[in-house]
Amino acid sequence: MGLMTSLNNSVTGLRINQDSLDVLSRNIANAGTPGYHRQALNVVDYNAQNSTYARSVGVTRAFNTSLQTYYTRQVSDAANSSVQAGYLDRLQGFLGKPGQAGSLDTLYSQLKNALQGIATSPDDYTARASMVSSAQTMVETLNRLSTTIQGMRQETEGQIASNIYNINGMLNSLSEVNPRLLALGMTDSARAALHDQRDRLVSSIAEIIDVQADYRPNGTVALMTRSGVGLLDNGVSQFSFESAGNLSPNSVFDYNDEASKVGKLILTTPSGLTIDLVTQGVLQGGELAGLVTLRDKTLVEAQDQLDEIAAALAQPFSTVSKPGEVTEAGAARGLTLDITNMAPGNDIQFTYSQNGIDKRVRVVNTLEPLDYIDATGQRVIGMDFSMGGGDLGNTLGAMFPSLNISGGAGYLRILDDGAAGTTDVKSAVAHSTSTGLQGSGLAFNLFVDQGSAAFTNNLDSDPPQKQGFAARIAINPAILADNRLLVQYEVGGTLGDADRANYVINQLETMNFVSGTSPQANSGRFQLAGNLGEVISQIVGFQGASINAALTKRDDRQLTLDTIIDQMESDYGVNVDEEMARLLELQNAYAANARVVSVVKELLDTLFQAT
């Protein structure tokens, strides 16, 4: 090997040493920097006719497409679970745990105890005052929880708007990074830094919305949602959010755009196509999907359950239960119901057996054409009672040909078929709503709707009366002014009469409720069935289980994400110990190359002096 060959090899070695030191210094300087990928210098050996030497041919950035894709997906899933768990954890704090002071089941227990106190000592002012106080606490709690839930729904809309602003900025930034990665004159270090920026932006976008990233050989990236809607390719899509303003229990999502009363989340593609992300089911992950689920489903169901409690609280006090009178017509036997004063939402219920099988029917006074089997197996039918007893009897008679059903002014008669052992009418009761505090029986309106209106569970109002009732329920002002009305059901009646209190106690135990309406409308929702105490217990248990499940899901997904991050740290991260060991290698190589250059210089100097 000649002197010039040795000199050339040493000089190229020094150059590679310098490039390697540049890469190493960047690695050490960025150790621990989020999103930084370890870099390594590419060195290629060249063989010439008279020499062998090395050259650097760019910088390699640590990157694993499969790992990055899995990470991006898990970021979306973890963000989705995290935002839902965060809201539900707060909701649990407001609802309280079973048996905890201030929880709904505890407050109901206190209400029943106060009611029992009136039954024991109806003439005791303190007992009656305690009953009013317990009822007021129950009402205020339902009002407060409703306000809290609607406030949380409003908060989700604010967070959605903030996320929309952020994701548009990040998509625009990523659309600027892509063309810069195609620039031919860029240094390797600058290109690697752009790749880091690209991946950080993709990760940040994935936290907001579920994305699939297509990493291309030229370094650019295209994004689309898991459902296949393009976000970034030849152009960039833009998100927008049309707020609905203040949300109330009546502000619910509907697939019919005109009927929907919540904010709209719109995506506009580069071609000008607009997509409603919620209506068309585009969102499958990320914070946006979690926030929409909270706003339109989870928190709405929580509000509906509060409304079920409010309705089941009001009705046992105000419902007049009128059992049917035994009636015979020839061989046929049955019951005759008084259906006067039946307000919208009131109902009649009857049970009959057919061939030894009991069947239960509930006929609701409504314009809605209801006909379904509820969660308890009871058939629910909607009828307009204003048609009169005659037409009502004829219509029901046609629906139940095995029974003899007829009616007239103010009554409905339900008889068996007169054949022994074929059909048998077992019970029938009409439920109407009390309209006064005295002189109209034992039932009374302790709990009222807005404007002191009676709660009848009217299905024909817009929206139905039960919707949002927990936010409106109040104590009858007349009872707040004079608690004697809790026991005096007749004008001038004695204060020592416990009949009204005992009537309500019996109603609370025997009146059963079923949540929602038809099975189609209740699809995906937890079904409630039972008396008020059972309904409250079911709701408290369901919410507790749902919240715990959400927290567990969040922790599981975060654990998975942490595992992926650890793997990425192993594949992409900078190990300072390894880099320092590499630095020692470079120092030794630098010293060796420098020594060769020095020796060659001395030999050349000697050679020139000799000549």
Write the DSSP string, 422-437.
TEEEEEEEEEEE---S
pLDDT at 55 over 70: no
pLDDT confidence tier of residue 522, bands split at 50, 70 and 90: confident
pTM: 0.88
Of 35, 132, 85, 227, nearest to 546 by C-alpha is 85
Percentage with pLDDT > 70 across the chain:
89
The reported pLDDT for the residue numbered 188 is 76
**Is-contact 111 504, C-beta < 8 A?**
no
> Looking at this protein, which amino acid is placed at residue 80?
N
Cα–Cα distance measured from residue 299 to residue 77, given in angstroms and rounded to the nearest whole number: 20
Name the phi and psi angles at 545, rounded to 5. -65, -40
pLDDT at 597 over 70: no
Cα–Cα distance measured from residue 77 to residue 71, given in angstroms and rounded to the nearest whole number: 10
Q: Cα–Cα–Cα angle for 316, 321, 322, nearest 5°?
A: 175
Mean per-residue pLDDT for 562-574? Answer: 84
**Is-contact 1 601, C-beta < 8 A?**
no
Q: What is the pLDDT of residues 156-165, one digit of tens each?
A: 999 999 999 9
Least confident of 109-113, 123-127, 330-334, 570-574: 570-574
> Looking at this protein, which amino acid is placed at residue 169?
G
The reported pLDDT for the residue numbered 23 is 72
pLDDT at 578 over 80: no
Cα–Cα distance measured from residue 454 to residue 474, given in angstroms and rounded to the nearest whole number: 11
Mean per-residue pLDDT for 132-144? Answer: 96
Of 454, 110, 517, nearest to 308 by C-alpha is 517
pLDDT at 168 over 90: yes
pLDDT confidence tier of residue 74, bands split at 50, 70 and 90: very high
Q: How far is CA 243 from CA 124, 169, 247, in A?
A: 53, 19, 10
The reported pLDDT for the residue numbered 166 is 96
Tokens of 348: 């009649």
pLDDT at 445 over 60: yes
Which stretches of 366-516 are DSSP H helices? 389-399, 469-472, 477-481, 499-510
Q: What is the pLDDT of residues 198-215, one digit of tens each?
A: 999 999 999 999 999 999
Cα–Cα distance measured from residue 116 to residue 486, given in angstroms and rounded to the nearest whole number: 12
CA 383 to chain centre: 35
Cα–Cα distance measured from residue 501 to residue 540, given in angstroms and rounded to the nearest whole number: 27
pLDDT confidence tier of residue 289, bands split at 50, 70 and 90: very high
* DSSP element (H, E) containing 363: strand 357-365
Instruction: Find the Cα–Cα–Cα–Cα dihedral 358, 364, 368, 373, rounded to 10°.
Output: -20
Cα–Cα distance measured from residue 579 to residue 423, given in angstroms and rounded to the nearest whole number: 90
The reported pLDDT for the residue numbered 241 is 95
Least confident of 147-151, 312-316, 423-427: 423-427
Least confident of 50-54, 62-66, 433-437: 50-54
Scan for tokens 């929206």, then name that residue. Answer: 463
> Looking at this protein, which amino acid is placed at residue 67?
L
The reported pLDDT for the residue numbered 48 is 64
Q: What is the pLDDT of residues 141-158, one digit of tens each?
A: 999 999 999 999 999 999
**Is-contact 489 500, C-beta < 8 A?**
yes
User: What are the beta bridge partners of residue 328?
Assistant: 333
